[in-house]
Amino acid sequence: DTSVSPSPPAVRVRPLTCSETRRGDRRVVHSLGDGTVHVSAARHDATFGFSAVFDAGASQEAVFEGSGMRQLVELAIDGFSCTVFAFGQTGSGKTYTLMGPLTQSETRPAAPGLLGLMQRSFACLLEQSRSRGSDLALSASYLEIYNEQVRDLLSPGPPCALPLRWSKTRGFYVENQLSVDFESLEAIADLLLQGSQRRRTSAHALNRHSSRSHALLTIHVRSRAMRGARVSHTPLTWIPQPSACPSKQGTLCFVDLAGSERVKETGSSGELSVEANNINRSLLALGHCISLLAKPQGKRTHIPYRDSKLTRLLARSLGGSGITLMVACVSPSSRCLSETLSTLHYASRARRVTTRP
């Protein structure tokens, strides 16, 4: 039995923002540097343990190195399905962790030190690709789930819904999704930017919030098989051998989950409340799958991946043959206390999930 739980959740506590400091929010979340997170407020006092905890002072580099992200990139090259997802309430630092700060002028790139897990992973992948000669072929697809519709963020024109299908061999997959080859850091950074802008504009057209959709960027890593070994030096007797190193196909998927707000807190109504309900429903479905997966193997019942598009798309990485790194993002502010506690409880539950990569 090769069940493992290779990447337990990492937790990142962001610093108080300027506006939180200005309005006098207190810091109620602390880490003592020993893998524990303390939440202490008037009526709450709780301690959680995780394998990796990053406090307000942690750099983007420290998160990349300390979360196991580099190993995840290497596993994808070795042919595994790898997924990293950031979750937590809106404003908790998910996008910052994955992509770095998004400034007003999105065309101006962030300072190199502030680049997120995604750009660092791309650099790592391309470095590996270069050092292995040209036997790694890389391509990217970028999808969002908005109001339970799957949309392609790389195809030109206004986003249109794509069907999500299931087959015995492939599991759940998105029909007709675009996959774009890339060979340089600039090219993949450009795809990420294009897709993110498309996601943003479609969100802005409907409301002022960003991140009202779940976004999934997948890098497909194909290592080309070594050509048939020559068994003789005379071309006529050249026999293609089954290659000693079969071709492998791994994936590295980055998931930026939409925030989990309560509908009544955001005062949403009409279209916004439909949107918030869809987000909550899919996050609930995800939480439900995770808590069922966390049960001991023998006690597991049917896992309801079909309950949402999000869980269908994540089915393989969550329960099947994938390796998942989760980064729980929390705000240290006293005003976010209840959301912070619920994120930490969610992360604790996810700690017990095992997969068979």
Which residues of this chain interact with ligand ADP, rule CB under 6 A?
14-15, 17, 88, 90-96, 101, 211, 259, 329
CA nearest neighbour of 216 among 116, 131, 137, 144: 144
* CB-closest chain residue to ligand ADP: 93
Choosing among Mg ion, ligand ADP, none, which partner's interface includes residue 277 (Cβ < 5 to 8 Å by kind)?
A: none
Minimum distance from residue 18 beta carbon to ligand ADP (Å): 9
Q: Is 228 annotated as a binding residue?
A: no
- Which is closer to ligand ADP, CB of 86 or CB of 174? 86
Contact segment (CB under 5 A) with Mg ion among 88-96, 158-166, 170-178, 307-315 equals 88-96
Is 213 a binding residue for Mg ion by CB under 5 A? The answer is: no
Query: Helices 117-131 and 69-77 meet at what angle, rounded to 10?
Result: 40
Is 95 a binding residue for Mg ion by CB under 5 A? The answer is: yes
Rounded Cα distance, 317 and 82, in Å = 7
Choosing among Mg ion, ligand ADP, none, which partner's interface includes residue 101 (Cβ < 5 to 8 Å by kind)?
A: ligand ADP
- Which is closer to ligand ADP, CB of 152 or CB of 256? 256
Residue window 36-75: x/- pattern of binding to Mg ion, with contact defined by CB under 5 A: ----------------------------------------
Q: Is 343 annotated as a binding residue?
A: no
Cα-Cα-Cα-Cα dihedral sign, residues 183, 184, 185, 191: negative
CA nearest neighbour of 30 among 50, 55, 65, 7: 55
Look at residue 64 and give its three-state secondary structure: helix
Please give the torsion angle defined by the CA atoms of residues 74, 4, 97 and 173, in that order, rounded to the nearest 10 degrees: 80
CA nearest neighbour of 322 among 310, 314, 330, 312: 314
* Cα radius of gyration (the chain): 21
CA nearest neighbour of 174 among 155, 156, 194, 158: 155
Q: What's the CA angle centered on 136, arms 133 and 139, to 5 degrees?
A: 140
- Which is closer to ligand ADP, CB of 211 or CB of 218? 211
Minimum distance from residue 256 beta carbon to Mg ion (Å): 6
Rounded Cα distance, 233 and 275, in Å = 66
Q: Is 128 annotated as a binding residue?
A: no
Minimum distance from residue 201 beta carbon to Mg ion (Å): 15
Q: Is 90 annotated as a binding residue?
A: yes
- Which is closer to Mg ion, CB of 125 or CB of 253? 253
- Which is closer to ligand ADP, CB of 129 or CB of 211? 211
Positions at the binding site for ATP: 88-95
What does the binding site for Mg ion look like in residue numbers (CB under 5 A)?
94-95, 211
